[in-house]
Amino acid sequence: RSAGIVGAPFSKGQSRGGVEDGPERIRAAGLQRRLQQLGCAVKDYGNLTFEDMSRDEPMGLLKSVRAVGAANQKLSQAVRAAKEDGHTAVVLGGDHSLAIGSIHGHSAAVGELSVVWVDAHADINTPLTTYTGNIHGQPVSYLLHELRSKVPVLPNFSWLKPCVSAADVVFIGLRDVDPAEHYILKMLGVKTFSMSEVDQLGVARVMEETCDYLSARGKKPIHLSYDIDAIDPSVAPATGTPVVGGLTYREGVYITEHLCQTGLLSAVDLVEVNPLRGQTEEDVRSTVSTAIDLLLGCFGRVREGNHLPDYRLP
C-alpha cells in the first residue's frame, strides 16, 4: 500500500476563510510519519497552488465559479498523476468543491468508480437550486451523468465531463439536506444512509449494506469523499458548516476501517477541516486528530493494534 498525498489549500467553494490551512495542519500533526509507522509508503506531492482570479464576478448566486473551475482542473490532473504513479490518492482539503476535480481525476485514471460520500450534507445542489451560491454544496451534481442537463456550462468548467452514475454513489451521515437536494436524491433513487439509518441499523450494518449495494454493480475502485462535518461537532468542531447529531468518533473511524478491508479503496478526500473555526486550540487539535485517525483507518490501522509484517520479538 502507498499513499500519494495532494494538498489542496482551496477555500473558494465556500465563503469562510481558514479552510485553506487544512492541508498544512493535517501534515503538521504527523500524517506522513503515522502512515509510515503503519508500513504504508508515502509520496507527498506537496500543495497545489491556485492563482488569484482577477475577474470572477458572481453568476447569479454562484460564487467564484472561475476559481473553482480552474482549481479543480488542476486537482484533477494531480489526482490522475498520483493514480498513474500507483498510489492510493489522498486529497487534503480545502473545501468540498474539490471533490469535483478529485473524483474526475480519479475516474480519468481508473475508469468507473464507486463513490462513498460521508457528510452531514448531500452537496448535490445544482447551480440553479443552490440558495447559498457556494459550490461546496454542489459538487455531486456536476459529477453525475444523470444531472448533465440540469447543470449549465460554466466558465472554466469546459474540461469537466460527468463521470459517475447515481447508482454508484452511497451517502452516509446525512442530516442537513436542502429540499431540492432531497428531491434530487429521491428522483434518482440514490442510496442514502442518513443519521436516522445509522441510528436504526448501526454503523456495522450500514457498511455491510453499503458494500453489498456497491459490489452488486461490479467491484469498482472506491472513491471515499469524507467531509469532516460528518463527525459530530463535539469531536470535530473546527469546520465551516457544523451540524449537531453527527457520527461519533467510533462510527466515523469504523467507516474507514470497513472500506479499507474491501481492498478497493483507491482515493480519499479529507475536506472541510477549518483551523480558524474552532473556539479554542483544543477544538482544532481534536478536529485535526480525528481527520488523521480517519486517514489512518483508510490505510489499514485497526484499533485492536498493529505491527509490521517483519516485526521480531527482542
- Site map 90..119 versus ligand ARG, x via CB under 6 A: ------x-----------------------
Applying the rule CB under 6 A, the residues between 50 and 89 that interact with ligand ARG are: none
Q: Which of 121, 168, 181, 251 is catalytic?
A: 121
123: contact with ligand ARG by CB under 6 A: yes
What stretch of H or E contains 142?
Answer: helix 139-143
Which of 21, 229, 269, 283 binds ligand ARG (CB under 6 A)? It is: 229
Residues 239 and 274: their CA atoms lie apart, in Å, by 5
Beta bridge partner(s), residue 96: none
> Which does residue 178 bind out of ligand ARG, Mn ion, none, counting CB within 5 to 8 angstroms by kind?
ligand ARG
Those residues with Cβ within 8 angstroms of residue 32's Cβ, 6 or more apart along the chain or in another chain: 5, 42, 44
Alpha helices, H only, 148-233: 179-188, 195-201, 203-215
Residue 96 lies near Mn ion (rule: CB under 5 A): yes
Of 187, 190, 68, 183, which is closest to residue 133 (Cα–Cα)? 68
- Interaction between residue 227 and Mn ion (CB under 5 A): yes
Residues 247 and 289 sit within 8 Å (Cβ to Cβ): no
Per CB under 5 A, 181 contacts Mn ion: no
| Residue nearest to ligand ARG according to CB distances in the complex | 137
Number of residues that bind Mn ion (CB under 5 A): 8
User: How many CA atoms lie less than 13 Å away from 105 in the CB half-sphere?
Assistant: 28
104 annotated active-site: no
Q: Which stretch binds ligand ARG (CB under 6 A): 18-26, 27-35, 129-137, 195-203?
A: 129-137
Interface ranges with ligand ARG (CB under 6 A): 96, 121, 123, 125, 130, 132, 134, 136-137, 178, 227, 229, 241, 272
Q: Hey, which residues are catalytic here?
A: 96, 119, 121, 123, 136, 227, 229, 272
